[in-house]
Structure 1
Amino acid sequence: MDKIKATIREQNFMFIICAIVILYSIYSSSKHENYLSSEYGYTVGKTIKYNFADGQKNCIKYKYYVNNVKFVNCVVIDPKISCPINKFYRVKYSKIKPEISELYFTKRVIDTGEVFKAGLNFEKEESK
Structure 2
Amino acid sequence: MEQTKTGKKTVVLGASSNPDRYSFLAVNKLRAYKHPVVAIGKRSGNVGDTEILAAPEPQEGVDTVTLYLNPTNQQPYYDYILGLKPQRIIFNPGTENPELMRKAREQGIEPVVACTLVMLSAGMY
Give the alignment's TM-score, normalised by structure 1. Answer: 0.22
Larger Rg: 1
Give the alignment's TM-score, normalised by structure 2. Answer: 0.23
Greater fraction of residues in strand: 1
